Structure 1
């Protein structure tokens, strides 16, 4: 009989047994079922896949082949749901989103607008 891991049987890549061990360590008074560890590992796997996909698109937009923390920052902040999830998270070496406050933009003068309308 060939031994199969819990991750293999559940069809996920992330380690189910390790998640179960960490859940047991965090709350030693509670019983932890296998299905809770499977659910947690599948949710974490989905989030990581989503972040990696969006970060890869950001890297491709910047004509790079490697994903750096800046690409992760751009991907997370441009996605509404991930932005909400990561709103209080600081990504090291991520930088800031490129934006210019409207008060800092040059104002159009009314004189130039009036001159351009007189044809």
Structure 2
């Protein structure tokens, strides 16, 4: 939901003929959240988690889920930017969960599809592209490095 959908002043100007009636606003808008409060309440009631569920429980749950989602996506975005990527891949989410101690405690047992293990130090990329012919100089240099090790 964008802020314009939650803006009460603009909706009052559109309907001047209705006196005494307040325009309908969702509970998500009233709470200032993006996550759907009503849908979360429906899931809580159908989930048989408790006999009674307070009206504030779904608002609180939506706020927690929104905060956690923002935090995870923010850290994963930073990791993607460090990899010089513009999109967040499952690998970035996996690294996010396993680098942060609190997220590791909470989501440590979660399996992400295509979320490969965190990479150790990657070797520096060579400036040479493609698979050209090996020159005698590069063969000697790799042989000398192997002998020295």
- Provide TM-score, normalisation by structure 2: 0.64
> Relative contact order: is structure 1 or structure 2 higher (C-alpha 8 Å, sep ≥ 6)?
1
**CA deviation map 1:8-35 (0-9, x unaligned):** 0111110000010000001286122220
Distance 1:28 1:59 in 2: 37
CA RMSD of aligned residues (A): 1.5
SS in 2 for 1:97: coil
* Cα 1:28/1:69, change in 2 over 3 Å: closer
Distance 2:80 2:118 in 1: 15
Q: 2:91 aligns with which of 65, 70, 74?
A: 70
Q: Which structure would you say has the larger Rg?
A: 2
1:8 corresponds to which residue? 29
Gap runs ≥5 in structure 2: 1-21, 122-149
Q: 2:42 aligns with which of 5, 21, 27?
A: 21
Q: How does 1:1-119 map to 2 (within 5 A)?
A: 1-27=22-48, 30-99=51-120
Gap runs ≥5 in structure 1: 101-119
